[in-house]
Structure 1
Amino acid sequence: MKRNSIKKSIVASALAGVLATSAIIPTVAMAAPKTRIGNNGNKEVKNVILMIADGWSYNQIDATNYFKNGKLGSQVYENFPTKVGMSTYSVSAGGYDSETAWNNANYIKNKPTDSAAAGTAMSTGHKTYDAGIGVDANGKSVRNISEDFEAQGKSTGVITSVEFSHATPAAFVAHNTSRNNYEAIANEMLKDSATDVIMSAGHPDFNDNGDLRTNMNYKYVGGVDTWNGVKNGILPVADANGDGTPDQWNLIETKEAFQALQDGETPDRVLGIAQAATTLQQNRSGDKKAGAFEVPFNDNVPTLAEMTNGALNVLDNNEKGFFLMIEGGAIDWAGHANQSGRNIEEMSDFNTAVEAVNQWVQENSNWGETLLIVTGDHETGYLSGSKGALTPIQKTAAGMMPEMVWNSGDHTNQLVPLFAKGDSANLFKKAADELDSVRGRYIDNIEIAHIIREAINAK
């Protein structure tokens, strides 16, 4: 059973008129649980925030650093105390060999993972086939870490810069044999799950420039009936807080509503669908091969950081704690399209969201009770400093586009970095028992779920 929610009794006046809500009824607050010591010897973690830059690896970080700051190592996560590599392969590739990866330019392009398999590995601790969502290699549903948190009475949320029914957010909530069953996945997330916060792009009424359109696409939000049910507050939904009654979604759509959610009182369950068709910014019109920040942005959608701040303000209603997955999903889209400028834009948006989380922990929590993990699900585009091999990005001055050579339009199985901060972040160092000749010690992606479960003492 999920938590008896610690509800805030008044919705902030800033949200009045922009939240499509059902009535919010306050309940009696429960006493905070006593501090417990987890299996790792550290204080048991209350909150876990997992941030996934879909499609990044070391060169995406370096290219963005050069453009933004003219130097490496300038992101907040690069100064976290725990820094290791991570392998991302699915069951199709069967493994990662360091020597071959650095001596055979085609090796990391062979049978690369997709986001469904990678997301499922991180969420459940099980390797699976490409396209599998929350299922093992035999197609059987397996428990994800969101369900572990919910079993402890904690809140959960997923947010992304692409559609919420896409592979990465879906892997932390849903169970489906194919990532392509978007409508079914969306319905499971909205109707059947106990998730408290879902935020994304993918609005059925708007195009990628934020303009109203006549050709609506309801697939990614569960179909027209589901969407109308959410808007009208009549969708058949789950009991998210464990009080015995269904908990309707409080829908927000406008940029102003997302921004208002960052401060003040909030409802306990929020569905935020920004007014853009597929991505917040990456798929907008204009020269898609232009340099970073040369094409004006959509002005009617929130940033990933604003989504993040709003989600945190909702989830901390629950004194027992929460799990939140934050995805920079369109980094991957820009990598597929070999869009150097837009890749840097999406990386910058993700980096700002990491800064927002880091600040939230410092101001509203502490590093003993909160674990922050920043990583990727896989690399996209085989980004390099030269053609045909994985070489570093060369230094440029701030504001200048670096030379970015894309050697693929697909994913790769190269290692991606993982950064972690919090008292339990040392668990990743302990688990990093494999050695890459260039990146150093690394873990496998299934170990994320195992370590989070150890940190929260999940049974």
Structure 2
Amino acid sequence: MKSPGRVPPPVFIAETYPVMKIFPAIGAVVLSLLLANATFAETLERVSISSLQQSNAETNRPKAIHWGPNREKYSSWTTHSNRLIPVYTFGIDLGAFDGGNSIYRSEEKLEKLFGFVPTQTVNPQAEYFDQTDVYRLQKQAVESGKKRVILFVCDGMDWQTTWAAAIYKNGNVPYREGRGTGLHFQDYRGAKTDFGYFVTTPHNSGTDVNVNSQMVTSPGGSTPGGYDPTAGGEFPWSVPADANYWIAKGENTVHAYADSASTATSMTAGVKTYNNAINVDYMGREVLPIARQLQADGWKVGVVSSVPICHATPAAAYANNVHRYDYQDITRDLIGRPSIYHPGALSGVDVLLAGGWGDEKKKDGKQGKNFVPGNPYLTAEDQQAIDVTHGGKYVVAQRTPGQTGKKVLEEGVATAIKEEHRLFGFFGVSGGHLPYQTADGKYDPVAGAKSSGPTAAAEYTQEDIRENVTLADMSMAALDVLEAKGQPWWLMIEAGDVDWANHSNNIDDSIGAVLSGDEAFHQVTQWIEKHGGWDDTCLILTADHGHYLVVEDPEALAGQ
């Protein structure tokens, strides 16, 4: 039975069940009977979040929360922001980068990082650091002797998104600033742990490229990056002095906010670059991600994501491309096939498990002249070429009609380990992602919202759920295969559905995605404890950028 504190308040139940408003006396009796029933109380708890989302999306009138700078609308902004982003480390600390060591305290260091000194960005009191320090943190871990490095990216999960999920899970408001408590990654103390926050702004936004020639055609873009703490705040939980600053529309200062490609490149390759870049600098020159650097030294590498195999974050783990949407070529880099950027082919990753299965597309102008109709992320020819049954290097485990996804993946893991092959996993539903988990742990989302009105709710069949896997399933599979190949190894895990839910301004999906990612983290830490512990292991959990969720009434998310 759920805690009584998590049952929705009577006013919310009355709005959900109008008869209780019309006949208050009857409603009071009915309400007491309903709340006495644990099963129904749990159902009402689910209704409180889904109904909150549904009501807000349909009316665009904010209740408890809103997205964007306009407090009068539920949805006035559906993309990223320039918020500071939290990072949680396990097995290592942040002492070399935060506080007095922050890049943002030094004009000289900022000029070296950006190639220019961003306006209103030098801050002698900065406690925050830069996103590129996540790359340097991994390098530091390797140099200190760590043999297993895990970069866990909850795409789009800013402090406010995390807060909303922690409130819902706890049934109360456990904190209002700082690291927080209530989620596994906030509470875990099985290893030395640290908490900090960083700037995600890119080098610039507005850079144009030519995908066919893989050239940057307008270096420098239209809007430079930077971070003004007087406008955006000193902390991830700050209320901005200028509500439009975070979205590059500030009254006095304008700085670019980042996309998932530039931010992932910052974390994997340590450079500031333009939005849409995959491991190239702001001029379009190749930079080597840490996974390829380590692979050259004998490390095994793996990539896991709940969204398509070649989306920006998994792409930046290994590939190079001037534009994030050149999907098929990015996948070729990941699986060791000749690509437009690497005609001679890269070595490819040892484990790649993600979404993208089942999608079809006849045309895609963003992918250039060499786009092949069919699956937009992986061509049939490339998939056949990598399959061990056709002489390739990968055991292919993919969504298979009539079979449970977890069993298909487990069989793939067993074969890959026994026969010493690589592992490629391909799952998902229409749209390229795994099924969205909602706040209650089910898969029954209501509609998201855009500023112009609600978007359609995703609908999943029983087959969609049964034939797919979870992020936790894929994470365990990757760990088992990499460990079987022997240390050292590097692994990226991405909870990409957090970002997709936030783009949709869907609090139900957003909370569900955070909880799904948190469960994957929980299982990863349990795996580490059973496989040698933390002496040789470090894990960095963070997000790539923020969105613009504003929680005005946190108690409503708690059901109080």
Provide TM-score, normalisation by structure 1: 0.67
- Inter-partner Cα distance in structure 1 for 2:380 and 2:299: 31
**1:51 aligned to which of 148, 152, 168:** 152
* Distance in 2 of aligned mates of 1:42 and 1:126: 19
Partner of 2:228: 97
CA contact (8 A) 1:282 1:333 kept: no
Offset of 1:229 from its aligned partner? 2.7
Structure 2 CA distance, aligned partners of 1:40 and 1:275? Answer: 34
Please report the TM-score for the alignment, with normalisation by the length of structure 2. 0.55
- 8 Å CA contact 2:350–2:423 kept in 1: the answer is yes
- Residue 188 (structure 1) shift: 1.6
Q: In the alignment, which residue of structure 2 is the partner of 1:241? A: none
Does the 8 Å contact 2:318/2:334 carry over to 1? Answer: yes
Cα contact 1:150–1:194 (8 A) shared by 2:
no
Is the counterpart of residue 88 in structure 1 residue 245 in structure 2? Answer: no
Q: How does 1:113-128 map to 2 (within 5 A)?
A: 113-128=258-273
Q: How far does residue 320 in structure 1 lie from its aligned partner after superposition? A: 2.8
Partner residue in 2 for 1:395: 555
Q: Secondary structure at the match of 1:82?
A: strand
Rate the CA distance shift 1:249–1:139 in 2: closer, same or farther, 3 A: same
Shift of the 275–109 alpha-carbon distance from structure 1 to 2, 3 Å rule, reads closer
Deviation at 1:193, TM superposition (A): 3.4
Aligned counterpart in structure 2 of residue 144 of structure 1, from 289, 293, 301: 289
- Aligned pair 1:311/2:482, yes or no? no
User: Does 2:475 match 1:337?
Assistant: no
Of 79-88 and 301-310, the range deviating more from structure 2: 79-88
Q: Which consecutive residues of structure 1, in runs of 5 or more, have no partner in the other structure?
A: 1-37, 208-215, 236-246, 387-392, 403-459
Could you tell me which amino acid in structure 1 is paired with residue 555 of structure 2?
K
Q: Which of 227, 245, 248 pairs up with 2:383?
A: 227
Deviation (angstroms), 1:396: 4.5
Correspondences of 1:358-377 after superposition (within 5 Å): 358-377=525-544
Distance 1:231 1:165, change over 3 A: same
- 1:67 matches 2:168: yes
- 2:394, 2:288 → 1: CA distance? 24
* Aligned counterpart, 2:257: 112
Change in CA separation of 1:186 and 1:60 when aligned onto 2, cut-off 3 Å:
same
Instruction: For 1:257, give the aligned amino acid.
Output: V
Return the index of the structure with the highest Cα Rg. Answer: 2
8 Å contact kept, 1:170–1:189? yes
Residue 385 of structure 1 pairs with residue 551 of structure 2: yes
* Change beyond 3 A, Cα 1:346–1:206: farther
Q: Deviations over 1:10-52 (max 9, x none)?
A: xxxxxxxxxxxxxxxxxxxxxxxxxxxx978985110100100
Match of 1:76 in 2: 184
Per the alignment, do residues 42 and 196 of structure 1 end up closer, same or farther by CA in structure 2, a change over 3 Å counting? closer
Structure 2 counterpart of 1:355, one-letter code: H
1:276 and 2:441 matched: no
Displacement, 1:298?
A: 2.3
Counterpart code for 1:166: H
Per-residue CA deviation, residues 242-284 of structure 1 (Å, 9 max, x unaligned), is xxxxx61110014122244677945441000014231101398
Check conservation: 2:436, 2:445, Cα contact below 8 A. no
Q: SS of the counterpart of 1:67?
A: helix
SS in 2 for 1:161: strand
State the Cα deviation string for residues 281-339 of structure 1 (Å, max 9, x = none).
1398863349x999887232111001000000000023331100000111111111111
Give 3-state SS (helix, strand or coil) of 2:352's partner: strand
Distance 1:302 1:104, change over 3 A: same
Instruction: Give the distance between the partners of 1:77 and 1:330, measured in 2 at CA.
Output: 18
Please name the residue that 2:279 is paired with. Answer: 134
In structure 2, the gaps of 5 or more residues are: 1-138, 175-180, 205-223, 233-239, 249-255, 338-345, 362-372, 400-404, 438-442, 450-456
The one of 377, 399, 409 aligned to 1:258? 409
1:186 and 2:298 matched: no
Tell me how many residue pairs correspond in the alignment: 335
Taking a change above 3 Å as real, the CA distance of residues 164 and 42 of structure 1, as seen in their structure-2 partners, is closer
1:287 counterpart residue number: 446
The aligned runs of 1:10-25 (5 Å cut-off) are: none
Tell which has more relative contact order, 1 or 2 (C-alpha 8 A, sep 6+): 1
Q: Give SS of 1:373's match.
A: strand
- The amino acid that maps onto 2:425 is G
The amino acid of 1:105's aligned partner reads: A
**Contact 1:66-1:396 at 8 Å conserved across structures:** no
- Identity within the alignment, %: 28
CA distance in 2: counterparts of 1:89 and 1:155, whole angstroms: 31
Letter aligned with residue 273 of structure 1: F
Cα distance change, pair 219–331 in 1 and its aligned pair in 2 (3 A):
same
Give the secondary structure class of the aligned counterpart of 1:86.
strand
- Specify the SS of the correspondent of 1:379: coil
8 Å CA contact 2:388, 2:394 repeated in 1 = no
Structure 2 partner of 1:424:
none
What is aligned with 1:302? 469
Q: Which AA in structure 1 matches 2:376?
A: K
Higher helix share: 2
Q: Which residue of 2 aligns with 1:412?
A: none
Contact kept, 8 Å, 1:156 with 1:196, in 2: the verdict is: yes
**Structure 1 residue 218 corresponds to structure 2 residue 340:** no
Distance change >3 Å, CA 396–CA 45, structure 1 → 2:
same
CA-to-partner distance for each residue in 1:383-440, whole Å, 9 max, x for gaps?
0113xxxxxx613475x4x9xxxxxxxxxxxxxxxxxxxxxxxxxxxxxxxxxxxxxx
Aligned to 2:354: 200
